[in-house]
Structure 1
Amino acid sequence: MIGALLFWSSIGVVAYTYAGYPLLVAALAQQRGRAPREADLQPPLTVVVAAYNEQSRIAGRVHDILAQDYPAHRLRVLVVSDGSNDCTAREAALDDSRVSVLALPHNVGKAQALNLALEQVDTELVAFTDARQRYGEGALRALVAPFADADVGAVSGDLVLEPATGAGHEVGLYWRMEKALRADEARLGWLHGVSGAVYALRRELFEPLPAGTVLDDMWVPLHVLLAGRRVWMARTAIAYDQSSADATEEFHRKLRTLAGNWQLLARLPVLMDPTRNPVFFAWFSHKFLRLLVPWALLVALFASALTPGWLYRLAFIAQLLGYAWAIAGLRLPRLAARVPLLPAAGTFLMLNLAALLSLPASLAWHPSRLWKKH
């Protein structure tokens, strides 16, 4: 009886996290969702780029920002070179009065770099991006437009992942599902995370990040919500990035992100208080349960192995076959490219392995290992 209860409870956690909650949010967003008022605004805007050893692409990134269809006299770019030991600061300093560079003498981490950069920002709105992406046409205008609504405190754009040579589409598929969920949460006022490559904020709502904080793209919007404002997602404010062809690199990227969620919980315990966290239900369902899913999967596997009955024997065998299928999706990329759902199975396994290791990683790693490259 206990084994059966553990098995079905664990399966229920997995099913709710990856299917039940997204379907519930989609239905509620369709019935009760609301978009903010928008206007074609062009207020003074500062775009902050945190960079570490990016001499090969920082000049191109700054040119990309300045090429946006935004009034030139109202657009500024602030590049903060976080103790780079190459020529990042020099390459970023274009011959353009709209560009300024803050060259830090030592590497202090992205969180501290952003804090120091924001001390120099005097525009009402500030946008954030990284060195490796590029903006789509009209991205900054689309990012700023929702601020016409006084309730909006932060706006996330839409990060589009372009497959690298030799990379599969499995991460892109997962990311498209994630973005659809975020868009539905935004319509309900539940959005609590933004894309670090393309988001904007009312400067007055910026809350300095503790040193070593990994997820500035969670810390910032959560404080906007705690201040009583809304976080919106502008799907037409697009930034482009390239997915990694290296599965190991992609795994470590997800591991850093998921470990950052544990770190965030330790630094912002109000998240676990439903009376103070205005998006507790969404945060718990969307973020926290994903950290627990791999443990639920392990419980389901062992419970089905130890519980008597033909149904649980079948469930145990089905799980083993499923994991073998997922491993094939990771280890045999050419086969995965030809077999439907095989890449998705591999991604599911990779993400949950990263989630499984995220708690010990967050406890064992120094923050500088959780985030080094900006």
Structure 2
Amino acid sequence: MKIALWLSLFIVFYAFFGYGILLFILIKIKRAVKGKPVPPIVDLVSMPSCTLIVAAYNEEDFIIEKIKNTLALNYPAGKVDFVFVTDGSTDSTPELVAAYPQIKLMHKEGRSGKIAAVHRAMDTVTTDVVVFTDANTFLNTDALIKICRHYADPEIGAVAGEKRVHADETADATAGEGFYWKYESKLKTWDAELHTVVGAAGELFSIRTNLYRPVPVNTILDDFMISLLVAGDGYRVIYEPEAYATENGSESVGEELKRKIRIAAGGIQSIVWLKSLLNPFKQPVLTFQYVSHRVLRWTVVPFLMILSVILNMIIVTSGYNSLLYELLLLGQVMFYMMSLLGWILETRQIKIKILFIPYYFCMMNYAVIRGIFRYMAGRQSAVWEKAKRK
């Protein structure tokens, strides 16, 4: 039981923190040998042609602001196209987009899901590069330039931008979410420097058009799948933090939980469908990064968190007198009590942000368990009902 306890705690620690520490060490070693990588020089003349695709569903509250943000993006004239796909929208989103002739509107009645809409848009793309972004996120002015400059390197098949969560003083539900994405951004930066990013976020990512492989229409995490297929084909996926998409945090932790459960279900689906990436003999570094950064979190970690508490309690109550195990159990109990207190305060709209980090951490792992069982039961639709945001 002691071995199982320490192994469980090690895997949990490694998946969320140990891998980051190991990455940091590996990056330091790589820089000592090869030097720190230098960002590519921006050459506007040789920039690839680019298409920006926005899939929007009933986004009338945001779409005008999104259009203005899109048209304000810097990129060489004549080298960029804008495509908005509004399949199934029943509000005024298509009409609002149609008022801007600079944007190509693709609309049809009936809702087949985001990825089906993206596939339809991709059939019309003729540019070198395609960039995907969400309708409720807003890009920095130089985002397209910062992304597309990387395609001068033929080894790079995709570029992921940074997701930023805007949180104001009242954004209690996003205290943990914002911290999580800042940490994830650092991990992705190191992942890319070591070899490749393992999965891009749909808020902002791009690929070479000729590398696009249509994923099944029942894919839950299409952005994750598309970018990992590029990595699986032997290309690198780069992370570009100077190209970022900003969005408001979820309206409540309940809305964020809904989103996390869907992501977890999609994570299990992706692991099943991309099982070839688990073969360390094909691309060992990619497999190492994929398992360390994604697979452990989406499979065994939540269950090992529960197991470690149970084993620790059994050891302490079995008469084994050890201050170490008693302190370890106390630490685990205190952590979960902080999480519980964070939940209680959130339901009463009392905002102590320091408690939302353990609460958000536990909520994420609870969502993984829910997502696993939802996927196994076949109850997770690929047609996403978006979370409400502030």
TM-score by length of 2: 0.89
List per-residue Cα deviations over 1:99-128 (Å, max 9, x = no partner).
Answer: 111113221111211111100111111100
Quickly say closer, same or farther: Cα 1:164–1:245, change in 2 above 3 A: farther
Q: How many equivalent pairs are there?
A: 369
Cα contact 1:259–1:370 (8 A) shared by 2: no
Identity %: 30
Aligned to 1:178: 184
Cα contact 2:157–2:237 (8 A) shared by 1: yes
Counterpart Cα distance in 2 of 1:160 and 1:146: 21
Structure 2 matches for 1:20-39, cutoff 5 A?
A: 20-32=18-30, 34=37, 37-39=40-42
Q: What secondary structure is seen at the aligned counterpart in 2 of 1:241? A: strand
Code of the aligned partner of 1:281? F
Aligned to 2:125: 121
Aligned to 1:134: 138
Code of the aligned partner of 2:163? L
Counterpart Cα distance in 1 of 2:240 and 2:165: 16
Q: Let me know the Cα RMSD of the aligned residues.
A: 2.0
Counterpart Cα distance in 2 of 1:205 and 1:36: 23
Code of the aligned partner of 2:287? F
List per-residue Cα deviations over 1:110-148 (Å, max 9, x = no partner).
Answer: 121111110011111110001001111211111111111
Aligned to 2:309: 301
Quickly say closer, same or farther: Cα 1:348–1:32, change in 2 above 3 A: same
Quickly say closer, same or farther: Cα 1:372–1:275, change in 2 above 3 A: farther
Structure 2 matches for 1:178-197, cutoff 5 A?
A: 178-197=184-203
Match of 1:86 among 91, 100, 122: 91
Counterpart Cα distance in 1 of 2:256 and 2:283: 31
Cα contact 2:48–2:151 (8 A) shared by 1: no
Counterpart Cα distance in 2 of 1:370 and 1:297: 31
TM-score by length of 1: 0.92
Aligned to 2:231: 225
Match of 1:18 among 16, 19, 31: 16
Match of 2:334 among 299, 321, 328: 321
Aligned to 1:66: 71
Counterpart Cα distance in 2 of 1:40 and 1:363: 49
Residue 282 (structure 1) aligned with residue 282 (structure 2) = no
Counterpart Cα distance in 2 of 1:100 and 1:145: 24
Choose 296-305 or 270-279, whichever is displaced more: 270-279
Quickly say closer, same or farther: Cα 1:335–1:91, change in 2 above 3 A: closer
Cα contact 1:133–1:239 (8 A) shared by 2: yes
List per-residue Cα deviations over 1:19-39 (Å, max 9, x = no partner).
Answer: 211111112123215456443
Counterpart Cα distance in 2 of 1:247 and 1:153: 35
Choose 252-261 or 177-186, whichever is displaced more: 252-261
Cα contact 2:119–2:214 (8 A) shared by 1: yes
Q: What secondary structure is seen at the aligned counterpart in 1 of 2:78? A: helix
Quickly say closer, same or farther: Cα 1:27–1:67, change in 2 above 3 A: same
Choose 304-313 or 279-288, whichever is displaced more: 304-313
Aligned to 2:116: 112
Unaligned runs of 5+ residues in structure 1 are none
Unaligned runs of 5+ residues in structure 2 are 32-36
Counterpart Cα distance in 1 of 2:40 and 2:74: 21
Code of the aligned partner of 1:368? S
Quickly say closer, same or farther: Cα 1:92–1:367, change in 2 above 3 A: farther
Q: What secondary structure is seen at the aligned counterpart in 2 of 1:234? A: strand
Choose 316-325 or 15-24, whichever is displaced more: 316-325
Cα contact 1:61–1:132 (8 A) shared by 2: yes
Counterpart Cα distance in 2 of 1:143 and 1:94: 28
Choose 267-276 or 133-142, whichever is displaced more: 267-276
Counterpart Cα distance in 2 of 1:369 and 1:43: 32
